[in-house]
């Protein structure tokens, strides 16, 4: 069993913001695999089903980004999941817009949601799919991550969300190493 947690902030005012790309990937996976995301438990909206032959719990923490670890940790503990079976999908300002990076573990890189998860899992050794949302201008970090994408960025982000969902499916079907080899490269330019 896997926990696939997409990070974001709850509420209509945050829908479509840079910080919420993790939510969008989980929503895409739920739609692709017919997994209803209606159940509220452990401070998250969750659904469970099969993806790539693996039993999966999809989760959108409802704790706000900075407290994501409360929900992720509670779900992982309840289902006795080791950290290497907790896959986190998160925005990343250090990556160019639309770029994906899969990592088996690593630092939070200043991301408060990842720091919270580290505290609640007591480790940095959990896999993550990072989605580039572009860099903020100096002193504008909060406005940047809580801001919506410009129309010309939205198409790039929509493709990145689809690719991130593909990456999650590949991780579940083929393992982290093969998925990293496939997705940790620049996307092919559109023809």
What is the rounded CA–CA span in Å between residue 55 and residue 61? 19
What is the rounded CA–CA span in Å between residue 32 and residue 20? 19
Which two tokens mark 148?
Answer: 């919506």
Which two tokens mark 88?
Answer: 């986190």
What is the rounded CA–CA span in Å between residue 62 and residue 30? 17
Active site residue 19: yes
**Active-site residue, from 19, 33, 120, 144:** 19
Contact criterion met (CB below 8 Å) for 133 and 143 = no
Contact criterion met (CB below 8 Å) for 156 and 116 = no
Catalytic residues: 19
């Amino acid at each position: 069993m896997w926990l696939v947690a997409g990070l974001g902030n709850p509420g209509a005012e945050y829908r479509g913001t840079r910080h919420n790309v993790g939510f969008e990937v989980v929503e895409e996976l739920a739609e692709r695999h017919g997994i209803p995301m209606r159940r509220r438990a452990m401070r998250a909206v969750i659904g469970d089903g099969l993806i790539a032959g693996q039993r999966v719990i999809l989760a959108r923490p409802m704790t706000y980004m900075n407290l994501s670890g409360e929900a992720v940790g509670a779900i992982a503990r309840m289902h006795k999941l080791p950290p290497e079976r907790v896959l986190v999908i998160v925005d990343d300002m250090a990556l160019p817009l639309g770029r994906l990076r899969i990592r088996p573990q690593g630092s939070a890189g200043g991301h408060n949601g990842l720091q919270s998860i580290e505290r609640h899992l007591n480790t940095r050794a959990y896999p993550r799919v990072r989605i580039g949302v572009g860099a903020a201008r100096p002193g504008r970090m909060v406005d940047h991550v809580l801001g919506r994408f410009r129309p010309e960025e939205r198409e790039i982000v929509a493709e990145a969300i689809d690719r991130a969902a593909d990456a999650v499916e590949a991780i579940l079907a083929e393992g982290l190493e093969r998925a990293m080899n496939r997705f940790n490269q620049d996307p092919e330019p559109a023809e």
